[in-house]
Homo-oligomer: A and B are copies of this chain.
Amino acid sequence: MPAVSPLAPASFPELPAIAGMRLATAEAGIRYRGRTDVLLACFDKGTSVAGVLTRSRCPSAPVEWCRARLAGGSARALVVNSGNANAFTGKSGREATKLTAALAAQALGCRAGEVFLASTGVIGEPLDAGKFASVMDRMVAQAEPSPWLDAAKAIMTTDTFPKVATATARLGSAQVRINGIAKGAGMIAPDMATMLAFVFTDAPIAASALQALISRGVVDTFNAVTIDGDTSTSDTLLAFATGAAPGAPAIARAGDRRLGEFRAALDTVLSNLSEQIARDGEGARKLVEICVDGAVSKRSARRIALSIANSPLVKTAIAGEDANWGRVVMAVGKAGEPADRDRLSIWFGDIRVAHKGARDPAYDEAAVAALMKKPEIKMRVALGLGRGSDRVLTCDLTKEYVTINGDYRS
């Protein structure tokens, strides 16, 4: 097991119970020994569900299962396993999802279409879903409101720490809660197939409204994080709203003005979890924030920021604590977006290193060198063309990344 990432949060927040749901974990022995590898979340009747799933053309079987069932809008259970992604497993993969959902439905007395699934781990190995049979009834019987850290641990793969986040918001005259858990150590390590995040709230929000909230919510959070530019076959974000918060008004539309505080709290949870994924990037030693402004649009700024964030040469320079702004120029130039070399300025932290198409004559190499030694690096690129801006998070590319990903299967 790798040591805990040096960028890990100092402590974990305590997550409160969410009315209308319970959690349980178990050791089903899918791949790992001596640790939990399956999570069950049980929801009371009336729980709505929404989801954002990978855009990969080669999605895992559970991703296809969820995509087909999200239209139903209601959930009674979530079953997540680690150790096997049930991806690229053909017909047997589809059968494994069916069996898993049937087992949970039987144990809970609900319809299989109200059971949501996610799997993370090795690609291409058949998943023996029969192993869930021996633990399902016990998990239903033992499920409790608050083992949140246990839940986050059961879904870990190459993660070096469990990822949890929580926030509260006023909704009408009620206080509602939002909890989230996630796994992912690499925007993707597709072998370990990858980024899973689950958000739970007791707010009574209709499925269509919840869908609109999370679809917008991922844009500047999960979709603005990249470890290696590799997109998983299994990326899944599911949100569940039990509606059990006492006194909260039922919300039918995402445009409802009463959602202001809730939306902000939801964004906080998504943003917190996605930052933790960047902090646990495989081999990462530096958290890197890349801000682009002056682009012709936000979309253009995003593409330029991702071109920088995914450049192996930028990422290795950061690993080497080298303020190599020439590589940033290269990454801006190759992004295929409008850019004018002679208007371009670049900052590392607060130090402007390049200005209007040339090295900033005033910058102090020693000051920049000191800044590059810090664990968190902020980089800003000003294009000077328009008003489009954006921000993405990434990490450095270290020899440990190569080690982790060169040695994993063997």
Interface residues of A (CB under 8 A from B): 54-59, 87-93, 122-125, 186, 188-191, 193, 228-233, 310-313, 316-317, 319-322, 324-327, 329-342, 344, 354, 356-359, 397-399, 401-403, 405-410
Contact of A316 among B90, B311, B326, B402 (CB under 8 A): B402
Residues of chain B with a CB closer than 8 A to A340's CB: 57
Q: Which residues of B contact A359 (CB under 8 A)?
A: 88-89, 124-125
Rounded to whole angstroms, the CA-CA distance of A313 and B409 in the bound complex is: 12
Which of A229, A233, A313 has the most B CB atoms < 10 Å from its CB? A313
Per DSSP, chain A at the interface is loop
In contact, A327 and B231 (Cβ under 8 angstroms)? no
Q: How far is the CA of A258 from the CA of B326 in the complex (A)?
A: 45
* A89 to chain B: closest residue by CB: B358
Known: A58-B330, A124-B358, A356-B90. A405 touches B313 (CB 8 A): yes
For residue A292, give the distance in angstroms from its CB to the closest CB of chain B.
14
Given A329-B87, A334-B231, A403-B399: A191 in contact with B324 (beta carbons within 8 A): yes
Among B57, B189, B231, contact of A341 (Cβ-Cβ < 8 Å)? B57
Separation of A166 and B150 alpha carbons in the complex (Å): 65
Are B87 and A326 within 8 A (Cβ)?
yes
CB of A315 to closest CB in B, whole Å? 9
- Counted per complex, copies of this chain come to 2
Whole-angstrom distance from the CB of A300 to the nearest CB of chain B?
Answer: 11
User: Nearest 5 CB-CB pairs, A to B?
Assistant: A320-B406, A123-B326, A58-B333, A90-B358, A56-B333
Out of B124, B331, B358, B401, name the residue touching A312 (CB < 8 Å): B401
| CA–CA, A91 and B190, complex, Å | 46
Which residues of the other chain, B, contact A230 by a CB distance below 8 angstroms?
A: 311-313, 327, 330-331, 334
Please give me the residue from chain B that is nearest to A228 by CB atom: B312
The answer to whether A330 and B403 have CB atoms under 8 Å apart is: no
The reply to whether B358 and A92 contact each other, CB–CB distance below 8 Å, is yes
| In the complex, chain B residues whose CB is within 8 Å of the CB of A329 | 58, 87-88, 123-124, 190, 233
Supply 4 further A-B pairs (C-beta < 8 A) apart from A189-B313, A312-B405: A87-B326, A230-B311, A312-B397, A312-B401
Please name the residue on chain B nearest to A325 by beta carbon.
B124
* Chain B residue nearest to A344 in the complex (CB): B58
**With the chains together, A9 CA to B13 CA distance in Å?**
58
Cβ-defined partner of A90 (8 Å) among B231, B233, B317, B342: B342
Given contacts A90-B358, A322-B408, A337-B57, contact A228 B330 (CB under 8 A): no
A311 to B, closest residue via Cβ: B230
Cross-interface CB contact of A56 among B330, B399, B405, B406, cutoff 8 Å:
B330
Q: Among A186, A321, A407, which residue has the most Cβ atoms of chain B within 10 A? A: A407
